[in-house]
Structure 1
Amino acid sequence: MEAVVHYPASFGEIIQGKIKDKDILCSCPIDLFTEVKVFESKKAKSKYNHLKSSNFLSNLLTEWGYKDYVKNFDIEIKSNIPEGKGFASSTADLCGVYYSLLKLFKKEFKEDEFIRNCINIEPTDSIIFKEMTIFDYKEGKYKRKIGNYCEFNILVFEGNRIIDTVEFNKRSLPPLSNIEDLGEMLIKAVENNDIKTIGCCATKSIIRNEKRLSYPILPLLLRIKDEIGGYGVIGAHSGDALGIIYEGKLNMKILDKYSNLIKGYKIYNTKTIKNIDLGV
Structure 2
Amino acid sequence: MNTLIHEEILASNKVGKGISFGTFGELLQGVQLDNDVDFLVTLPIKLYSQAEFYPDSSGSLKVVPELKQKSSQLAINLLNYFNLPTGGTLSIKSDLPEGKGLASSSADLVATARAIDSYYKLNIENDLLERLMKEVEPSDGVMYPAVVSFYHRKVQLEEVFGSIPPLTIIAIDEGGEVDTLEYNKFPKTYTPEEKAEYTLLKNKLKYAFEEQNVIAIGEVATRSAIMNQTWQEKKSLEYFLHQSKNQGALGVVVAHSGTYIGLLLCKEDKYYKQKLNNLHFELESKFEKVYFYDTI
TM-score by length of structure 2 reads 0.84
Q: Which one has more relative contact order, counting CA pairs under 8 Å at least 6 apart? A: 1
Q: Aligned-residue CA RMSD in angstroms?
A: 2.0
- Alignment partner of 1:204 out of 213, 223, 230: 223
The whole-number CA distance in structure 1 between the counterparts of 2:279 and 2:26 is 26
The whole-number CA distance in structure 1 between the counterparts of 2:223 and 2:138 is 22
Assess if the C-alpha contact under 8 Å between 1:174 and 1:211 holds in 2. no
Task: Report the CA distance between 1:194 and its aligned residue.
Answer: 1.0
Sort the Cα spacing of 1:118 and 1:229 in 2 relative to 1 into closer, same or farther, 3 A: same
Q: 1:20-99 to 2 correspondence within 5 Å?
A: 20=34, 21-41=36-56, 42=58, 44-47=61-64, 48-66=66-84, 69-70=85-86, 72-99=87-114
Partner of 2:19: 6
Task: Report the CA distance between 1:46 and its aligned residue.
Answer: 3.0
Aligned to 2:135, what secondary structure does the other structure show? helix
Task: Report the CA distance between 1:86 and its aligned residue.
Answer: 0.6
Letter in 1 for 2:229: E
- Alignment partner of 2:204 out of 163, 178, 185: 185
Task: Report the CA distance between 1:75 and its aligned residue.
Answer: 1.0
Q: 1:161-172 to 2 correspondence within 5 Å?
A: 161-171=176-186
Aligned length: 268
Aligned to 2:262, what secondary structure does the other structure show? strand
The whole-number CA distance in structure 1 between the counterparts of 2:172 and 2:125 is 36
Instruction: Name whichever of 184-193 and 128-137 sits farther off.
Output: 128-137
Sort the Cα spacing of 1:119 and 1:245 in 2 relative to 1 into closer, same or farther, 3 A: same
Letter in 1 for 2:291: Y
Assess if the C-alpha contact under 8 Å between 1:228 and 1:254 holds in 2. yes
**Structure with max Cα Rg:** 2
Assess if the C-alpha contact under 8 Å between 1:11 and 1:28 holds in 2. yes
Aligned to 1:92, what secondary structure does the other structure show? helix
The whole-number CA distance in structure 1 between the counterparts of 2:46 and 2:251 is 19
Identity of aligned residues (%): 27
The yes-or-no answer on 1:216 pairing with 2:231 is no
Task: Report the CA distance between 1:172 and its aligned residue.
Answer: 6.1
Task: Report the CA distance between 1:255 and its aligned residue.
Answer: 5.7
The whole-number CA distance in structure 2 between the counterparts of 1:78 and 1:93 is 9
The whole-number CA distance in structure 2 between the counterparts of 1:99 and 1:44 is 16
Aligned to 1:210, what secondary structure does the other structure show? helix
Q: Which runs of 5+ in 1 are unaligned?
A: 274-280
> What per-residue deviation string (whole Å, max 9, x for no partner) do you get for residues 139-161 of structure 1?
13561122234321111111211
Aligned to 1:28, what secondary structure does the other structure show? strand
TM-score by length of structure 1 reads 0.89
Sort the Cα spacing of 1:263 and 1:5 in 2 relative to 1 into closer, same or farther, 3 A: same
Letter in 2 for 1:133: V
Partner of 1:268: 291
Assess if the C-alpha contact under 8 Å between 1:33 and 1:80 holds in 2. yes
Aligned to 1:34, what secondary structure does the other structure show? strand
Task: Report the CA distance between 1:254 and its aligned residue.
Answer: 5.3
Letter in 2 for 1:64: F
Q: 1:115-134 to 2 correspondence within 5 Å?
A: 115-134=130-149
Q: Which runs of 5+ in 2 are unaligned?
A: 1-13, 267-271
The whole-number CA distance in structure 1 between the counterparts of 2:76 and 2:291 is 37
Sort the Cα spacing of 1:251 and 1:182 in 2 relative to 1 into closer, same or farther, 3 A: same
The whole-number CA distance in structure 1 between the counterparts of 2:125 and 2:284 is 49
